[in-house]
């Protein structure tokens, strides 16, 4: 440690004081920088990640693992999703969301109008995704052995109705989460078919996980914005975006402060992905009052008040505590 000059001036960033070796790694046709810090902040010691993968996540805040979920599993998730759309499957807490354009029109939609379902923790056919051993093995590299599934989604990005509402604005998922520390939270997001720029792939800004959680608001988009699709307004539009082109079964793990979004679906098909946000059960809840997260707490609280006919709203902590499920190890604080 001494050799690295650890007694550095106050305020210097932790990683910036460490020795680095630079290499270039191709990501979807682009090149992201990898430096090799000699200590780790975002990953834990493990025998799964290669040195290259570990350094890549540390530096970029995401890691794509090819072909992690089998076609058979994905086909089963797809069929469960279709049953939910046809109301042949139901579960407590499940939220079924339509695209804003469809929700606000007179048009009576069929099941294809569903843009995403979330909170399927009580639906075994879908929640099985969150317990897949090959996913949890990776999650453990970031979180350690006690793992909570906090947030579940199956996103069915519809063909854009012409108003660009199928886009998801650039955001940081931590905006929605009243728990910390951020480095013990990770999202697993699996492509359920080939996903590229034509149907709206994930777009990430490598390295932004090292920054702060930013203020999020609704973007000022003319065609409308989906409920709760907050975005970061003040990001540098010239920062190098990386489009993650993924094949069916490929899975990306990403940090909750990584700035990301997804593009418009210009095809006639419904682009499907399934995801789970995990947190270590050693994490702790925070009170978001007086922080930039107060706006989302207010919105979720108001929604819960209306939906469940409550006199008072709920806190963001209440909202997440009830959804959280332990998928490995012990349930501690969460």
Ligand X SMILES: Nc1ncnc2c1ncn2[C@@H]1O[C@H](COP(=O)(O)OP(=O)(O)OP(=O)(O)O)[C@@H](O)[C@H]1O
Ligand Y SMILES: O=C(O)CCC(=O)C(=O)O
Ligand Z SMILES: CCCC(=O)SCCNC(=O)CCNC(=O)[C@H](O)C(C)(C)COP(=O)(O)OP(=O)(O)OC[C@H]1O[C@@H](n2cnc3c(N)ncnc32)[C@H](O)[C@@H]1OP(=O)(O)O
Residues that bind ligand Y (CB under 6 A): 153, 155, 157, 168, 173, 202, 260, 262, 273
Task: Give the separation between CA 188 and CA 254, rounded to whole angstroms.
Answer: 7
Q: Are strands 242-244 and 202-204 parallel, antiparallel or unpaired?
A: antiparallel
Collapsing DSSP states into helix, strand and coil, what is residue 110?
Answer: coil
Task: Give the separation between CA 63 and CA 142, rounded to whole angstroms.
Answer: 11
Selected range binding ligand Z among 47-55, 100-108, 188-196, 324-332, rule: CB under 6 A: 100-108
Instruction: Select the binding partner of residue 155 from Fe ion, ligand X, ligand Y, none (C-beta < 5 to 8 A, by kind).
Output: ligand Y
Does 203 contact ligand X by CB under 6 A? yes
Identity of the residue, 34 or 192, whose beta carbon is nearer to ligand Y in the bound complex? 192
Selected range binding ligand X among 113-121, 167-175, 208-216, 276-284, rule: CB under 6 A: 167-175
DSSP string, 23-60: EEEEETTEEEEEE--SS-SS----SSS-HHHHHHHHHH
Please state the closest distance from residue 263 (CB atom) to Fe ion, in A: 13
Nearest Cα to 219, choosing from 229, 211, 206? 229
Instruction: Select the binding partner of residue 303 from ligand Z, ligand X, Fe ion, none (C-beta < 5 to 8 A, by kind).
Output: ligand Z
End-to-end CA distance of the chain: 35
Spatial contact of 329 and 281, defined as CB atoms under 8 Å apart = yes
Instruction: Select the binding partner of residue 329 from ligand Y, Fe ion, ligand X, none (C-beta < 5 to 8 A, by kind).
Output: none
Selected range binding ligand X among 66-74, 178-186, 257-265, 314-322, rule: CB under 6 A: 257-265
Please state the closest distance from residue 12 (CB atom) to ligand Z, in A: 32
Instruction: Select the binding partner of residue 176 from Fe ion, ligand Z, ligand X, none (C-beta < 5 to 8 A, by kind).
Output: ligand Z
Nearest Cα to 157, choosing from 228, 80, 262, 76? 262
Identity of the residue, 34 or 314, whose beta carbon is nearer to ligand Z in the bound complex? 314
Instruction: Tell me the Ramachandran region of residue 87: left when phi exceeds 0, alpha when psi lies from -120 to 50, beta otherwise.
Output: left
Does 264 contact ligand X by CB under 6 A? yes
- Residues of this chain that bind ligand Z (CB under 6 A): 95, 97-100, 103-104, 118, 151, 173, 176, 226-228, 303
- Residues of this chain that bind ligand X (CB under 6 A): 167-170, 197, 203, 219, 243, 261-264
């Amino acid at each position: 440690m001494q050799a690295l000059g650890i007694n550095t001036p106050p305020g210097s960033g932790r990683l910036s004081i460490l020795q680095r070796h630079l290499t270039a790694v191709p990501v979807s046709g682009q090149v992201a920088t990898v430096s090799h810090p000699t200590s780790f902040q975002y990953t834990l010691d493990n025998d799964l990640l290669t040195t290259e993968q570990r350094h890549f996540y540390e530096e970029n805040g995401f890691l794509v693992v090819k072909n992690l979920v089998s076609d058979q599993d994905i086909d089963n998730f797809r069929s469960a999703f279709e049953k939910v759309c046809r109301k042949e499957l139901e579960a407590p807490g499940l939220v079924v969301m339509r695209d804003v354009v469809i929700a606000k029109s007179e048009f009576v939609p069929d099941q294809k109008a569903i843009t995403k379902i979330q909170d399927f923790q009580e639906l075994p056919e879908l929640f099985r995704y969150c317990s897949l051993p090959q996913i949890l093995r990776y999650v453990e590299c970031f979180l350690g052995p006690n793992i909570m599934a906090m947030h579940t989604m199956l996103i069915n990005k519809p063909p854009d109705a012409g108003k660009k509402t199928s886009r998801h604005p650039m955001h940081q998922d931590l905006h929605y989460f009243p728990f910390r520390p951020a480095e013990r939270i990770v999202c697993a997001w699996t492509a359920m078919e080939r996903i590229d720029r034509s149907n709206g792939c994930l777009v990430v800004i490598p390295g932004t996980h090292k920054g702060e959680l930013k203020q999020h608001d609704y973007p000022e988009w003319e065609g409308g914005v989906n409920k709760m699709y907050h975005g970061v307004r003040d990001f540098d539009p010239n920062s190098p975006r990386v489009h993650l082109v993924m094949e069916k079964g490929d899975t990306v793990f990403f940090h909750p402060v990584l700035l990301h979004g997804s593009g418009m679906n210009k095809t006639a098909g419904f682009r499907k992905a399934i995801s789970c946000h995990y947190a270590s059960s050693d994490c702790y809840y925070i009170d978001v009052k007086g922080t930039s997260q107060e706006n989302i707490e207010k919105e979720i609280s108001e929604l819960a008040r209306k939906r469940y006919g409550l006199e008072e709203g709920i806190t963001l902590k209440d909202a997440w505590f009830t959804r959280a499920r332990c998928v490995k190890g012990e349930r501690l604080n969460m």
